[in-house]
Amino acid sequence: MEETLTPTKTLDVCGKICPYPDMDTITTLKKMAKGEVLEVLLDYPLSVERIPRNLKKQGHKLLSVEQIDGPNHRMLIEAHGLK
């Protein structure tokens, strides 16, 4: 049985295009404590590819990426705790 994760914070960047979804995600994560979970709702296909790469460079952990419908995706990210 899979455990349901409750996000600490939700960031909705639907309707935003490059580079805003990526920048907003990283900026929000920098303000979060280690272990907190950020839910990101997005609909920009390039960010679905780029955000996971940027997370790795920043030390954050991608927990899941889920396609909701069409271009809409939901990502769960564990913050590294940079603050």
Q: Which residues form the catalytic set? A: 18
Q: In terms of C-beta distances under 8 Å and separation of at least 24 residues, what long-range contacts does 11-20 make, across chains too?
A: 11/38, 11/39, 11/40, 11/41, 12/41, 13/40, 13/41, 13/42, 13/44, 13/47, 14/41, 14/42, 14/43, 14/72, 15/43, 16/42, 16/44, 17/44, 18/44, 18/46, 18/47
